[in-house]
Amino acid sequence: MTDGDWSLVIDSVNLDANAEIKAMDSIASKVAPDPGNTWVTFTATWKYNGTKPEKGGTQFSVVNKNWDGTFGTDDEYGTTFNNVSTLPKGESTAPPAEKGFSVTDKVILQMPVEHANPSSMIVANFNAADYNQFLVKLS
């Protein structure tokens, strides 16, 4: 999927990731999903295709609220658990994203069990300055 100078690829979708999360060596493994929810994971790769540096660094996330009804059907949903950023480890200022920059990370989110299916959709936001959006089908 492409929006302006950015592209997004989603793969490795796990719509019932409770066992995967529990097996992680992380604080997340100690947290059960809220009642009626399940953990969902997928891998997201964001790539900058623009020709000019994207100033100020860029933040990538899945939106942090329930968007039921926003897109007109009951199986479209948005939630988040984590962020990905161009900020290098140990640095306090993110450099501009240069042409060809990409970042890949696992996204962890909670969804109601009835929405955790291949027809469900989430909203993925990126670019802290202008907020480009993708509507992503979890299939």
Render pLDDT for 44-103 as a digit per residue (tens, 0 to 9): 888 888 888 776 555 555 443 444 434 444 443 443 334 445 556 676 666 677 788 887
The topology (CATH level 3) of 2-137 is Immunoglobulin-like (2.60.40)
In DSSP terms, 107 is beta-bridged to 42
Q: Where are the domains of the chain?
A: 2-137
- Euclidean distance between CA atoms 130 and 136, whole angstroms: 19
Query: Contact at 8 Å (CB) between 61 and 78?
Result: no
Q: Which helix or strand (DSSP H or E) is residue 39 part of?
A: strand 37-48
Give the pLDDT of residue 58: 54
- Euclidean distance between CA atoms 123 and 51, whole angstroms: 26
Taking the model in full, what pTM does it have?
A: 0.68
